[in-house]
Amino acid sequence: MYTTDDGSPTLYSIEYDEYYHSKSGAVEETIEKYVKPCKIGELAKKGKVRLLDVGFGLGYNVIAAIDIATEANKNCEVEIISLEKDEKILKKLIHLNPPLKHYWIIKKLEYDPRNKAYYYEDKNIYLKIKIGDACQTIKTLNKKFDAVFLAPFSPGKNPELWTIEFLSDIAKVMKKEAILSTYSYARKVRENLAASGFVVFDGPVAGRRSPFTLAKLKL
């Protein structure tokens, strides 16, 4: 475990030879690069948020989205589908204690062996983590999402989740007004997004010199 600059913990992936978050601040990265740019709070005020999360990892992005949505509107319905390859990482999360109000949900996840998914559900919150190759599990989705958090490992380490084919599959499940946010600002990533039907623009600078990437569908 590594304590990032904002005091929140992150973990290191041996398989991908990368940390799950920026050392400048794990929770800060989550809020500044995903939750705020995708306007989760504003969506919540309308009554419902449907979010696609690519790369569940330590769950910070998902839980921060739940925190912000329920803060903005306690009666908001939050529906999140997350795609995750590494089932083993979920067992390590019970030892983490990041400053996220709803992180206890991680410890309440139940397993559905029939669908190879972990889930949590209550009156207003529905979270489903589909285990498997995201290139395949994304093809099983039949809903349209208000926002997309694209947070796999870097293009050099996890290239299959940055291809035109995969990004095109994401585009197919996004609402027309939805926003996609990702930490990567690599030129190839932006080119692939553009080739997949997106308009690409800079997000704010957060924790580093370069901006992250936001994208919307071409109308």
Domain CATH for 213: 3.40.50.150
Distance of alpha carbon 41 from alpha carbon 138, whole angstroms: 25
Confirm whether 173 is domain-assigned. Answer: yes
**H helical segments located in the chain:** 26-30, 40-45, 60-72, 88-92, 134-137, 164-172, 187-195
pLDDT value, residue 20: 82
**% of the chain with per-residue pLDDT over 70:** 97
Confirm whether 12 is domain-assigned. Answer: no
Distance of alpha carbon 165 from alpha carbon 157, whole angstroms: 17
Task: Look at residue 4 and tell me whether its pLDDT is greater than 90.
Answer: no
Task: Look at residue 180 and tell me whether its pLDDT is greater than 80.
Answer: yes
pLDDT value, residue 203: 81
pLDDT value, residue 216: 97
Confirm whether 82 is domain-assigned. Answer: yes
Confirm whether 7 is domain-assigned. Answer: no
Confirm whether 4 is domain-assigned. Answer: no
Confirm whether 15 is domain-assigned. Answer: no
Task: Look at residue 207 and tell me whether its pLDDT is greater than 70.
Answer: no
Confirm whether 146 is domain-assigned. Answer: yes
pLDDT in tens, 42-71: 999 999 999 999 999 999 999 999 999 999
Distance of alpha carbon 6 from alpha carbon 28, whole angstroms: 7
What is the span of the domain harbouring residue 73? 24-217
Higher pLDDT, residue 103 or 19: 103
What is the number of structural domains in the chain?
1
pLDDT in tens, 88-133: 999 899 889 899 999 999 999 999 999 999 999 999 999 999 999 9
pLDDT class of 206 with cuts at 50, 70, 90: low
Higher pLDDT, residue 17 or 84: 84
Confirm whether 9 is domain-assigned. Answer: no
Task: Look at residue 33 and tell me whether its pLDDT is greater than 80.
Answer: yes
Joined tokens for residue 38? 């995708």
Average pLDDT, the chain: 92
